[in-house]
Amino acid sequence: MTKRKADCTPEEWAAIKAYNAAARAKAKIDGRYGRDLNKNYAWKAANREKVLAHKRAYRQRNKAKIKAYEAKYRPRGLMRLPYQNPAFSNTVYAAAAAAVSTKFPRDVRDDIISSIVLAVLEGELALEALGASVQKYVGKFYTEFSKYTTVSISEPIPGMEGLTYMDVLTTDSLHAY
C-alpha cells in the first residue's frame, strides 16, 4: 500500500525516502532507470556497425528457429512489415503518407491517405499540390464519419415507422401517434 506523507511520522517518511533512493540507485546500476536507458540508445547509435554485426551473428546462430517462426506466421500475412507492403512501393501512396501527420489514429490516417491517393489517381488533385490540400481531406474524413450531423426536420426518424422530427416537435410525447 502506498503511504502518503500526511499519514507518516517524520521518521517513517525519512525511512521511506531513503528506501526509494536506494531502489533508484540499484535500478540505475542495473540499467533499468530512465537516463541510463538513453545512454544505451546513444551507444547503439554510435556503434551501429557493432549492433548490426551482433544481429547478423544472432540470425546466423538461430537460422532454423527464425525460419520456423516465419513459416508459421508469414503465410497468413501476420508478419508483413510496412516496407514489405506493395503499396509502399507506389510513389503516390508514399507521397500521401509523408504528407499526412502520424498523430492521427492509424485507421483514420489510413483512410485519409487512401482518399488522397484516390483523388490523385482520379485526377482531382495534382501530386505537386498534395501538401497544400491535406487539410481538405482531413476535414472531408471527419465530416463524412462524424456522429454529429445536420438533420432535416422532415426526415423520418429511424425505427419510428414514418414518424418525422416535425411530428415530434409538435407533440408532447413520442408516443402520441
The stretch 123-132 carries a mean pLDDT of 86
Residue 112 pLDDT exceeds 80: yes
Contact between residue 112 and residue 133 where contact means Cβ atoms under 8 Å apart: no
Query: From the CB of residue 168, how many other CB atoms can be counted at a distance below 10 Å?
Result: 16
6-33 pLDDT, tens digit each:
888 889 989 988 988 888 777 665 555 5
d(CA 26, CA 10): 24
Most confident of 32-36, 63-67, 88-92, 173-177: 63-67
Q: What is the pLDDT of residue 85?
A: 54
Mean pLDDT of 104-111: 90
Q: State yes or no: pLDDT of 78 exceeds 70.
A: no
Nearest-CA neighbor of 96 among 63, 72, 64, 118? Answer: 118
Task: Give residue 75's pLDDT.
Answer: 61
CB 174 within 8 A of CB 168: yes
Give 34's pLDDT tier (boundaries 50, 70, 90): low
pLDDT band of residue 175 (cuts 50, 70, 90) is low
Residue 96 has pLDDT above 60, yes or no: yes
Q: What angle separates helix 48-61 from helix 34-46, to the nearest 10 degrees?
A: 90
| Look-up of cell digits 487512401 | 114
pLDDT class for 62, splitting at 50, 70, 90? Answer: very high
How far is residue 117's CA from residue 125's CA, in Å, rounded to a whole number?
9
